[in-house]
Each structure stands twice: as C-alpha cells, then as structure tokens.
Amino acid sequence: MHYKKNLHINTKSQKQFTRNDSCVWIVYPPGAGGDMLSSIINKHYSNTGTKDFGINDVGQVMIVQTDGKIVNIKYNNENDVACNESLVNDTNRQISNNNSDYSKLDMVLFCNHAWQDNKVKKILEYFPKSKIIRIVVQNKKDNDLVTTLKNAKHNYISNSDHTNNNTLEHERLLNIPFSQIWKKDTFDFWYDMIIKHLDLPFKLIRFDYVDFWIEKHNDAIKKDLL
C-alpha cells in the first residue's frame, strides 16, 4: 500500500486528451537511453497507457509509450516536428487502441527523438502544460558512445553529431547531460531533479535497475558507461 499510495493518482473525468492537458515528453538523440529513462518515469504513475516489456539481451528497452511512438513514426523528421491537432487525434486513437480512454490515464507520456532546440520550442508552445526532459550530448566522446549504442541496438552504421542545437532553456524543460544521467555517482542527483521537475512525491527506483540495463551491453560499451 505504501508504494501505491505515493504514485501520481488520476483525478480527471474527460475522455479525450487535448493539447491543453498535462503531458510529459522525454526527448533524446537515438542511443542516449531515452526509453530507459521513460521506463523509470513511467513507474511513478499508476497508468500512462505505456507497455513496458523489459530489457532485451543487447540492452534495448522494449517499451511503447502512450502515443505508440507515433511522434517518431509520423511527426518527427530531420528538421522539424509537427505539433498539431492530427498528433493529438493520433494519440487519442492509440489510447483507444489500448482499450482505454484519457479519463483512465493519470499522465500522457511521449518519448521520441525530437530533441533539437527548434523542435523542443514547438512542443513547449503547442502543449502549454507539457513538461520536457531532454538528454543532451555535450562532447565528442559522449557523441561517439551514443552512436555506438544506437548502432549496436539497431544493427546499422550511422554517424551523426548530436552535440549541437541543444542549448535552449525553459522553466518547463529539464536538460540532463548524457554523461551524468547513467553514472552511479551522479544518477541520484539528476533523479532528484526529475522528481522536482515533474512534481512527483519521491524516488522509487534504485540505480540497480540502471546497472542491470548497463550489464546487458557488450564489454566495450559497459566500460564507457560505468
């Protein structure tokens, strides 16, 4: 009972999500661990409509958030993210496909690659009650590791620079350095910042969960993550 008592609890009655409702966005470059972060955050809510199936043998978190990843599939492209009524409608459609409706959810959780400043700004403007957590890559070493993580999980070779276009600051945006969020000695600090940013009661997850995720990667990646 202690665990359930301290979750974020749903108190609303409307059946359709709108652009003016509260929502949480986790945005990140591919390979930066955004799905892992969404798995941690999802555990603080009693029902987001998210399906979390665990972590596979190469460290990929098998999770589908509230929108069914529709932002990555349909609305996010290289230079822009389309925030519009169609996105809202598709999100409600995904909630319905899960045999649910918005009144049964206590939060809508988006997780996608719309991490660049111009995209984050559009999300903040179109969803006025959104709160965004962004994983930022700050240097070449971390960019190389993020690229390696992405290529290992998706079995293809792609090189991109994720160190630019990530300096925007806003009261509803929490920027978290990739180099610190998955390190044992700095994880709790940033976890505390997440709890404060999302107005949650307190932390629920220990670093052991992150450590389990790290252990699923190959030795070279583990060495750089630890």
- pLDDT for the residue 3: 41
Which contiguous run of DSSP H or E holds residue 52? strand 51-55
- pLDDT for the residue 1: 30
Domains of the chain by residue range: 2-225
Q: How many helices (H) and strands (E) does the chain have?
A: 10, 6
Cβ–Cβ < 8 Å for 216, 57: yes
Q: Tens digit of pLDDT for each residue in 113-126?
A: 999 999 999 999 99
Non-local (6+) Cβ contacts of 4 within 8 A are 46
- pLDDT for the residue 18: 98
Calculate the alpha carbon distances from 225 to 6, 42, 219 in Å. 31, 23, 10
- pLDDT for the residue 4: 45
- The pTM for the full model equals 0.91
Question: Consecutive sets of 10 residues in the chain, 226 residues long: mean pLDDT of each?
Answer: 46 84 97 96 97 93 96 96 98 94 96 97 98 95 88 65 89 96 96 98 96 90 79
Indicate the fold that domain 2-225 takes in CATH: Rossmann fold (3.40.50)
Q: Tens digit of pLDDT for each residue in 155-166?
A: 555 567 888 889
Non-local (6+) Cβ contacts of 83 within 8 A are 19, 75, 122, 123, 125, 126, 127
Q: Which one-letter amino acid corresponds to residue 160? A: S
Q: Tens digit of pLDDT for each residue in 125-144?
A: 999 999 999 999 999 998 99
